[in-house]
Structure 1
């Protein structure tokens, strides 16, 4: 991915980074970004997967009392409020204004985020937490394809092997096509959106920085857009909000605020295709959360699927990378 030198005074450092173009991925200004190992970045992404996987339980519980658009709108507005002071502090510390040439990509991120989040929440009315986690993991396959289509980014060969293993695991975890519902089909469509989001976020934060600001903007836009749809279409009662307060807080503060910030931070230091493999861990976390908290059954085949998914993650993470394991700064 293309590097972006933030200041003229950093020209020498930028030249050194360009000469090391076969290290992982270039980042923004050397003065603003601390080096991070790919393994550390991927551990942060694994934490995101754990939060998002268990968030399927919160989303499923909330659908008993709240309209999908109200839940999505409120959770993302909570996330935006929580992120606002950190985004403001990040802006004050930034060495330069946000590059205008990336504004269009940020707009695309906001639109994709809104569409995928809203569609996923509507799907959770009928899809189980386990199946939602399994089907969402299809972005393991979609992400390298989207990256290649949009930017001609060529993933490492081992990523395709990991994707095949991960998809095999998600197939076992979801029980094949048996019991496939309309909600399941909608979740598959959201997987394409999440794949595009992974690619677009990686492109912006590696070139322009501002990961917290990006998480704030996409959360604010998604929250406002969902509420704008919910107000005229779905009356809301305070009792319904009160009954869903814990799912809202989990979805807003952890799944929205914390996890999306960790994603933006970590994706400055790893490839989008590698990130998609790590995010596949959402499926087993969703299955475990569904089994423990909702009584959804995890079969023997599902357990094998969990093992395969984690195996795929370890394969991509530990496979020797000839292009280096630390961002050059």
Structure 2
């Protein structure tokens, strides 16, 4: 596979992940956030099961207790990020959620500094300021038009940044990516399922009505998106992948406008431009060290 082909596949993946914000929101017309997460990742878990089994059979050694502990930490960060992102969509738009989620690229160097003592590059400081300005504009600025959803999705971006750092460290020690995907999905199914069965009513009609959204998020965004990422990133540079994945945010905004009729004010458009510029700046600055492939952004 050529580098161009790999990059085009990664762009397709960014489009799939950006488009996932729409079914994540529309499914909540009939499902609670927790039930949507349970059903979405149950689909991912079931479909991934045979591939995880094959990976386990081919493994040269079993996963150690320490390895399982590292995977569970990754899964906890993944769980928090997904819950905050999903609940945020009750009160924020698809466009806002997509762009505010992209702030994890700015938060990741700070998470790496805290967790692994890796110092951020010089570009991080101006990019962080630009990104925070963009987030402020996107959430309403001086007009005060921000919502609790904007705050939740921004906090979720912090959780995603922690997950990115932990994935890099975990995959270097335990090279079992499909098992990690399964552990993350299982964590959401168990934790969100326990809450949903006690707190949130559900009906068979609701599940049937939301089946297309669940299928998209569970199959395309989860299984297919992760698989394309794993294959394509073997044939391109990590810096290429990170920049391409930043396109997830404008794809989310485009799908929200086309399918849901989301409209944005001039200040919000300015905020989107500022966030996207910050993302590109932190990736293109010459002194920035190249990130490991395992540290690519997460799916929506």
| TM-score class normalised by the smaller sequence | 0.7 to 0.9
Structure ranking higher in helix proportion: 2
Computing the radius of gyration from Cα coordinates, the structure with the larger value is 1
Q: Deviations over 1:53-112 (max 9, x none)?
A: 211111110111111111010000101111111111222222333344322221111112
Compare 175-184 and 313-322 and name the one that shifted more: 313-322
Distance 2:77 2:195 in 1: 16
- Match in the other structure for 1:294: 260
Check whether the contact 2:74–2:167 (CA below 8 A) recurs between aligned residues.
yes
- Select 2:206's aligned residue among 240, 247, 251: 240
Q: Are positions 1:69 and 2:34 aligned together?
A: yes
- Asked if 1:259 corresponds to 2:225, the answer is yes
Instruction: Quickly say closer, same or farther: Cα 1:317–1:276, change in 2 above 3 A.
Output: closer
Paired with 1:183 and 1:305, the residues of 2 have a C-alpha distance of 16
**TM-aligned CA distance change 1:309 to 1:182, over 3 Å:** closer
CA offset at residue 236 of structure 1? 0.9
Question: Does the CA contact (< 8 Å) of 1:112 and 1:196 recur in 2?
Answer: yes
3-state SS in 1 of match to 2:202: coil
Which deviates further from its counterpart, 218-227 or 192-201? 218-227
Structure 2 unmatched ranges of 5 or more: 294-300
- With normalisation by structure 1, the TM-score equals 0.74
Give the counterpart of 2:156 among 176, 190, 194: 190
Q: Deviations over 1:206-262 (max 9, x none)?
A: 332111221112112212221121111112111111111111011111222233455
Unaligned stretches of 5+ in structure 1?
A: 1-35
Moved over 6 A (4+): 39-44, 321-327
Matched-pair contact (CA < 8 Å) for 1:141–1:167:
no
TM normalised by structure 2 equals 0.80
TM-superposed CA distance for 1:140, in Å, is 2.2
Find the aligned partners of 2:188 and 2:96 in 1 and give their Cα distance. 24
1:111 aligns with 2:72: no
**Root-mean-square deviation (Å):** 3.5
